[in-house]
A and B are shown apart, each in its own frame.
Chain A
């Protein structure tokens, strides 16, 4: 197997060929599956366990972050045996607070870095930003790529940038945010995915959540296929994180169906797949309570954050 695999970096100037109509049709078909009863409950529990509970606001304070971390650990105490979320995702300045708040719970702390969300800062600032987050205790770093450079065709610049940040991360896992809403076409998304994976990304992530459209099923499908092809070529597994705009439990289940069919069971855990979301958790909890009690739930009975 090893002989046939190659880690040679492909020529990124060659145009990738993504069949837009095919991708959209296929993605639409994943939403037609009917998932009920036990399967639904198991799916929801898995989805809950894959969430990166996120707060990335200018107004974030230590209090807000502590509150969110508490929520991450105690999603719904009235429902015994619930898993926790996978991680909390905060700005670098809040990593220390978050790290202390989730200590001993097994929840990871992810930090955005590299001038999130625009990435429009000099490279040395990006490196310092990353090193600061890691020094503060971040287990995972979510970086943004330079979309401007990418759209100008400066693929080497983007590649080098990702590789440099990967180095700055040390042991922390690196998630590379492509910001697909700014890349516009599936061809560009595919190309950016390939660049990120070859440059050393541990995860590829759709969006910052600050740009519309954020994660959609078709764009996630393009990225999942890129991961699959990269795996066949190199034998290396890469994680996937759709982020932004996934706020309903049903949609989360559609994503899990897609994940299972494109990448298979090895990826069906929070080591290889995450949802970047803030309001998804409550909707999943409401659906779980509905399945448990048989009664439709109202959001007055669930904690805000």
Chain B
């Protein structure tokens, strides 16, 4: 394989990294005194478009292979996430135009978002422990900085919190990698898979130690219990646009690499250790759902509530991972489909909160009272997204939960039926706080009567999110189909 061909395999990431440099250059070279501000949003979107086009090129030509001695893979699975990450970054870029306009570090903000997107794309392609570590750490470090980007006290504090817990998670993860490498003698997932297939019982304990520690690192990105501690604080303290990115992209990246590592590396459903990690994710799922939902019940701050809700939602996805391990053919596609709809739903909710709170100057849910009278469209979008998070038809969230639960039952394991039973009870619990919020907006009398709307770009993104939530709720087949095709490439062993 020629060098150029290798680069072509990681094209989208390269485009994003180079684009980040371009954004910084434009920002630096743009004449200070001139009237117009640097067209950073446009440049950022252009870069994302290039990355998108490149990914599309791969999708059209049906690339399916490895590069750099097997360190990265380009397949439909990676492409699914690359599309998701690029779309998310573009949506956040557009939606935060107004907010970022007042930022000192405007150039850095856009550049760092592109770096994060590039690193996460690479993460989704990762097929070697070392590359996975590098990609994950690049993502993390960029995100620490992004959380503190406003340089206000709260934001900086959140950044530090995120950094410290992230550093611990990274430490645990690399320790886990050491176990995996020490036991199997390989850093590539293919090598690990080959070792696991031999079914050496003596290796079971060190392997388990290894993947539990690795799960700690990934679990931090996904915000699942018990690695969730940072989420509520960071969600509340960090700048909302950054958090919206964090809440979906980072979670998607974490689940992408977890699927890849556990499915490809640890040999999917039919190895001697798959039962072990199925149980592990089952426990994570139950813990996340219970902790997230019970925690959210008492929240009064919109962002903090969404923080707890994101923990609970991660629990739902973890059921999908457990189902994967237990041998459900719908498990992997369930995770992908859930993440796809979750991106639309959660971005919609965050954007609405961002737009509303910018206007009313408060994140307290009590101050959302009577919003339906003050800003009917914003309230309607937020309401729709909250219903989708609860899982009430005809929204995408309903189908997503149904699909994950059905996948878990299809695994044909009794203990997963119990996990699903806990999950559905949690849905009822979550209805309490999501719908209480809806009720506050629809029912209570507003303190002021002044009406407001969001900025133009923000409105466009909100409309896009709302349409996606309804579209995938009514016509889910295309996305399910895409998720299934992406998941299939995972199960095919790479040469």
Chain A bound to chain B: no
